[in-house]
Every structure is written in structure tokens, then in C-alpha cells.
Amino acid sequence: MTDRPDAPSALGQRAGKIDGPPKVTGAAVFADDLRLPRMLIGKILRSPHAHARIARIDVSRARALPGVHAVITGEDLPERYGVIPVSQDETALKIGKVRMVGDEVAAVAAVDEDTALAALALIEVDYEPLPEILTVEDALTRSDVLIHEDAKNGNVTKRVFQRYGNVDEGFAEADVIVEDEYLYEASTHVPLETHCAVGHYTPDGKLTVWSSTQIPHYLHRYLARVLGIDAARVRVIKPEVGAGYGGKSDPFPLEFCAAELSRRTGRPVKIAYTREEVFYAHRGRHQFKMWLKMGVKKSGEITAIDYKCWLDGGAYSSFGVVTSYYAGVFMTLPYTLPRYRFEAIRVFTNKPPAGPKRGHGAIQPRFALELHIDKAAAALGIDPVDLRRRNCVEPGTETVNGLRITSVALKECLDAVTKASGYHEKRGRLGPNRGIGLAASTYMCGANHSIYASEGPHSTVQMKLDRSGQVAIFSGTADIGQGSVEMLGRIAAEVLGISTRDMRVVEGDTDLTPVDLGSYSSRVTFMAGNAVLQAARRCRDQLAGPVAAKLGCAPADLVFRDHRIWPGDHPEWKDDPAHSLSFRQGVEVAEAATGQGIGAMGSYRPPRIGSRFRQTSVGPSPAYSFTAQVAEVTVDPETGEISIDRIWAAHDCGKAINPQVVEGQVEGCVYMGVGEALLEEHVFRGALYQSPSILEYKIPTSLDTPPIEVLLVESHDPEGPFGAKEAGEGPQLSTVPAIANAVWDATGVWMNETPFLPERVLKALEAKRKAEAKGRTAAVAPAPRGSGSGT
């Protein structure tokens, strides 16, 4: 038996997703589609103050309003939580003080939404405002103002300091030192579907919560803890989810409140966030201020990197402790680095909490490093692609900070993308105000360690076959639109030789499906993919013995393909009923021969990769994806507007299980990168978020999105399922720096601050013109070391 016999395979072929038709026809059921008998509607009262003590809450008038069934406040759900075990700093409703505009203060359940809203207006809250911390600088200097009064390190969520080798020695060896400062702006996810949860506590003492979550398993644990209900009696169901991008990776107040309000009323309770509430829930990309110093030899060899960053974390930790590690650990890739030092400091501010967004924690430093590489190339007179190739990490190596590298096809990505785009022919030759730029990047395929300490598997898949010929896959994964259902089905189909049409994938239901840690850190294809692969092989093994006995061959000789099972050395027997069986017959034969049902579990646990270093539990991954992108831009010198003419994206995804879905993920990444490069910014009026709407928060429309050419490169990772690696996040990392490097090629200005708004570009162009005019009149100035002219 082989997984890839000579017979044609559906794996690696372009195909529509298994779960596509219900979504495009509107038949798919999302959380807000749920209407349960006697269901109440819940609403949450939010703080209009950024930092204030809650002196008094009086809910008596709200409770007295006809149609109101329950009102709860902080003391009713006092158990603390937080997605990361070391930073439990949230409660569902705030107790004693509020830390941002939009903080949750009380929740009501009423017969309808209008009554619930009327009840909110009747809740009286007296606030005593406190001084606000709005910037990283304030957070670090105002020791008199504490956002979390019991925090160990004042307003610092986390400081990470790591050092590998002596960077000063590295700088002494270097011929060029490039040193610069960067600012990467905060941004948010804007999933099409706003967060929604339905809680249903039933008289048998069991709680069911339907929620638009990326993390059914972690939500399950936190619901049990915060509600004080044994986890064995809590069920989380993830309906179809209208995207997350990291924005649905935390447990959220609406889930706890819907559950508690249901427990108090005995009726199902639904809470759906408005778009504005999603902006306050946030957990988006951290704003990073960065300082970066890199030494490079004339040969192009990088000798050392020294790097510091400051993260504006907002009011709560969310994933911030992890972000603080991701802020630095991936800088040792994809360029071999002999010496490295980094420091990351994440602080609390009185603003919506930052968290994980696509390319979590790695997007911002990647921006800085990829501009730095081009600056070094300019200073040395080396081609930027050559400089990258010169330092490219090799397969089967270990980075200076102990990351284990398996498959790498970055050089192939660089080749593909430069060839397709004509990078070398175009660079410096496109004429005034037109330019081309390149960047490369890497990302993880899931974290080697789960969020809480556990030796258990990270993914388990259960598979059931029966005489109907159907194959049912039960997985705790959370398809949020990225295609994990399709991935599970297609891998199983490949092993069992059947069509995905005959599959049922049941996922994201903690009662029915085995544990999977969820959709974050680009882990699902690698981990759940390996789990379903193992389950499918075990099921096939259960069929193979009885079928081989029936057909008179050895089990290992059987081929499963096109719903047929036959001895592989006789291709002509494939459709001959005397010498082969249909898949359905095969199941019948196996059931009859064994008197047992057919089914199996498959699991995946990442390899235990020891590290020589302390403090390195965050960063190691079983594999890494690689990306190279080229952007071609035109800059309008009078308006400062950048139009992106085209983006070429080459991505080493290991193996494209369904290329159509992988291309979709790459395109989505580029799209999101274009938004962060050109449009999206977090502007505050004091502590008030300026644009909590999708009219004023400018994500790109289709007209703002350039043509995207996706080039898939397959490195066949030795440990990935059929060689597959991630594709959902990594491709975004290259987009923003590729655009910045193209703007430099077009104009000679470095955009060290995102987004590259027209007014900023114009200001940079004017500064350059002024400097040039001055340069012409002044005596010849010495050339600066490196080329770190900021904007």
C-alpha cells in the first residue's frame, strides 16, 4: 500500500472546497443564524471612560424594566481569565475599575434587542476618572499610574531579553553597519462576521455555547473555569465562522455573559457584537517601535543583529506575552545569523488590547529587517536578492537561537518571483516614480508547545467508516474560512482513495470531536493534517487485511483509488469485479470479517526538540514556511499616492494539498498586507478610538487591491502531511516590506513608518528634495555609514 500510487490522485489538484457550496449559496449556518425556542437577547454595557474607578453600579431600574430577565455585573463572574496562563488579567465584566473605552461593565438579557438596549440605558454607573496611559513612553515613566494594580512589573506586561553570541564582536567584523528606527502601526482584523455567541444552560446542569471562535478547546476550558461548571458538562460548538485572522483567538466577554445569563434565566441567550464592539474587542496587531542594528561584511555575510522593540499592548495581556517572544525569535530566519541580541518590552495602555493578527508578532520585525537588508545591499552595492541568497538558511540546520530547520525552498521562491516579475530587468530601470521591490520571510507551522502545559497530543482526529461507503471525520479544528475542513477531507480522500463528496467532516464541537488546540499560529494543516493522515492510514489498514484475503493478495499490495481497491501489480483488474472491490464493498468485507465497526483515532504531537537555551519555549515549530514577494509600484510625486501595479508572491508551502485554497490564502495575505502598507491605521482622539466602523477604518476594497500572481513552491517537508506546511499567515510577512523597497526604488525614500499614507510619502519626498537642494549648494558631505536615512 502506498499513499501515492500510479493511479491519478486528487491531492495537489485544484478543486472547490468541500464546504464551499453551502457558503456561496447562503445555506451555511453562522452563530447569528441560530434561533432557539425562548431565546433571549443579551447586550453589554460598556465604559465611556478610558481609565476610571467604578464607584457605584445600580442595576435596579434595568432589572425592573418589563421584558428584562437578568442583569449581571462584574461580581457575578469574578473568576479571572486570560488566554495565556501566565497573564490572567481579564474578567468578563470589570470589577472595581475600567481600563479602556469599551470595557465591559454589565450585561442584560431581555426578550428582544430593543428591550435589552433600553435596559442598558437604565443602568447607573458612577465613575471616578483616573489618569490615562496612552503611549509606551507614559507606560514606562508614569509609575504613579498603574493600569493593573496587582501587576508584577508595573505597566510592563512582559520584557524579553535574549542574547546569542557577542554582537559587539560581530559589529567589529562588519564592513557596513546599518542602524535605523522603524514604526509599524497597529491594525485590526475586520472579519466579515462580527463576534456572536449563544449560551444555553439546560436543566440537566449542562452548558452549551455556540460561538464564532477560533479556539473551541481553550474556550471550553475557560468557560468551565469562569462559570464554575465541570468541563465534562460544558460543550462548545463552533458553527461556520466568517473569518478570524486571530481576532477570535481569545475567550471573549460575550461568551461568558451569554452562558451566565442563560444559567440565570434558564433560557438560551444570544449576544452579537456590533461592528463597533469588535473594534473595542480588538486583539489586533501591536504597534511596534523598533530600533535595529545590523552588521554586514563586504561579502554580504551578516555578522550580527542587535534589535529592540517596544509594543503598545493596550489594556489587557491577551496573547501579549507570546507576542513579546515572537517579536524577536524569528529574526534569526531566513538569514543565517551568527550573533543576535534582542529585547522586547510590551506595555499596558488604556486602549483596546492588542493580540494576535495574521503573522502574529513577526510582521513588524520582518518589515524592519527586510528594509534593512535592502539598505545594506544599497550601502554595499550588492544586489538585494544576492544578499538574501548569500545568507539563506539551509535545510537540516539549526539557527543561532536553537530553531530546528527542516525543509527550506527560499532560494527557489526567490528564483520564481524574480523571474516572473522581471525584478532584475526592471529594478532601477522603470523610469521616474516607478519602482520594484522584493522581500522575503518565514513563518511557523504551529507552536511546539501548547498554550497551557500539556504532554497530550495537539491534534486528534477520529474517523468512522461504515457500509454506506461514507467516511466521517471528527476533528476539534476550527475552520474559520481558511479551508481546514477541505484539508482534512482531501488528505483522508487521498489515503482511502475516495472522493471528498462521500465525506462528512464534523469539526469544532467539544462533545463530538476529539481535542484540537484550534486555529492559531498556522498549526492546523501541519498538526491536524498529520492526525487525519494517521487516522486514515489506520482505517485503511483495518480494511486491507480482510480485503486482501478476499482478493487473494498481500495487504501491502493493495491500491485504494477512485473508490476501488485492487492489487496494485494488476492495474487491469481495477474495474474487474472478479479481482477488485469497490470501496463500499471493502468496508462491508472488513466489517463482516472482523465483526467490528471500522474506525480509528489519529493524533499529532510535535517532536520534542530540545534546545540548548533557556527561555526558548516560544518560537520552536516543527517546520517553517518561506516566502518571497515582489511589488511593482508607481508613486505620484505630487499627491504622494502609491499605486501598486502588481504583486508576485512565491510561497514555499511544502506541498499544496489543494492549490486553489492555498492560492486563496496567499492572496488573502497579500491583500491584508496591502491594507497595512497603504491604508490602515489606529488613530485615537485621546483614549477614544477614532474610527470604529468599516466606513472609516480603511481596509482595501477590490479596487485598491493589485493583481496578485501566486507562485507555489513545494519543498516537501519531511514531517508535514504529504510534505505540507502552512500558507495562511506566512505570505503576509513579505508584502509590506516589498512595497516599501519598491517605493525606495521608485523615489529613493525609505518609508520607515507604516502605513505609507500619501501625506507621509509626500513629506518624505519633499524632505529628500530639500536635502538634495542643500547638498548641491553645500560642500560635499561625507557619505553616511550605511544608508539609514529615515523619513
Partner 1 sequence: MMRLPAFDYRVPREVGEAVSLLAEYGEDAKVLAGGTDLLPSMKQGLFTPKVLVSLRGMAELRGIRDAEGGGLRVGAATTLRDVARDPRVLALYPALADACSTVATHIIQGTGTLGGNVLLDTRCTYYNQSAFWRTALGFCLKKGGDVCHVARTSPTCMATASADTVPALILMGANARLVGAAGERVVPVESLYTDDGRDWNTLRPGELLTEVLLPPPAPGSAILHRKMRRRQAIDYGFLLAAVRVDGDLAGGLTDARVVVSCVGPRPVVTPLGDLVAGRPLTAELAEEIAHAAARPAAPLTTHGVMPSYRKKMIRVTVRRALDTLRGEPSAAV
Q: Which residues bind partner 1 (CB under 8 A)?
A: 46, 48-49, 101, 113-114, 117, 194, 272, 274-276, 636, 638-639, 641, 679, 683, 685, 688, 690-693, 695-696, 698, 700-704, 758-759, 762
**Residues 668, 652: contact at Cβ < 8 Å?**
no
- Alpha helix positions (H), 520-655: 524-551, 583-594
Comparing CB distances to partner 1, the nearer of 361 and 692 is: 692
Comparing CB distances to partner 1, the nearer of 691 and 791 is: 691
b/e map of 750-789 (b: 16 or more CB within 10 Å)?
A: bbbbbbbbbebbbebbeebeeeeeeeeeeeeeeeeebbbb
Comparing CB distances to partner 1, the nearer of 64 and 121 is: 121
CB of 312 to partner 1, least distance (A): 19
CB of 208 to partner 1, least distance (A): 24
**Residues 143, 102: contact at Cβ < 8 Å?**
no
CB atoms closer than 10 angstroms to residue 394: 10
- Alpha helix positions (H), 304-391: 320-329, 363-380, 384-391
CB of 79 to partner 1, least distance (A): 27
CB of 513 to partner 1, least distance (A): 31
CB of 695 to partner 1, least distance (A): 7
Closest to 155 in 3D by CA, of 166, 141, 167, 172:
141
Comparing CB distances to partner 1, the nearer of 1 and 257 is: 257
CB of 124 to partner 1, least distance (A): 14
CB of 33 to partner 1, least distance (A): 13
List strand residue ranges (DSSP E) for 268-425, in order: 269-272, 287-296, 302-312, 340-347, 397-398, 404-405
Comparing CB distances to partner 1, the nearer of 194 and 510 is: 194
Comparing CB distances to partner 1, the nearer of 617 and 639 is: 639
**Residues 105, 54: contact at Cβ < 8 Å?**
yes
Is the torsion defined by CA of 766, 772, 776, 782 positive or negative? Answer: positive
CB of 99 to partner 1, least distance (A): 14
769: which 3 cell numbers?
A: 528634495
521: DSSP letter: T
441: which 3 cell numbers?
A: 520571510
Comparing CB distances to partner 1, the nearer of 117 and 145 is: 117
Comparing CB distances to partner 1, the nearer of 276 and 415 is: 276
Comparing CB distances to partner 1, the nearer of 368 and 674 is: 674
- Assign 471 to helix, strand or coil: strand
CA angle at 252 for the pair 247 and 258, rounded to the nearest 5°: 135
Comparing CB distances to partner 1, the nearer of 49 and 655 is: 49
- The C-alpha atoms of residue 402 and residue 611 are separated, in whole angstroms, by 6
Comparing CB distances to partner 1, the nearer of 131 and 718 is: 131
CB of 274 to partner 1, least distance (A): 5
780: which 3 cell numbers?
A: 560635499
Q: Which residues contact 327 (CB under 8 A, 6 or more apart)?
A: 160, 288, 309, 311, 342, 344, 346, 361, 362, 364, 365
CB atoms closer than 10 angstroms to residue 33: 12
762: which 3 cell numbers?
A: 509626500
- The C-alpha atoms of residue 31 and residue 213 are separated, in whole angstroms, by 10
Q: Is 70 left (phi over 0), alpha (psi -120 to 50) or beta?
A: beta
CB of 502 to partner 1, least distance (A): 38
Place of cell 535605523: 180
CB of 646 to partner 1, least distance (A): 16
Comparing CB distances to partner 1, the nearer of 153 and 639 is: 639
Please provide residue 283's backbone torsions phi and psi, each rounded to the nearest 5 degrees.
65, 30
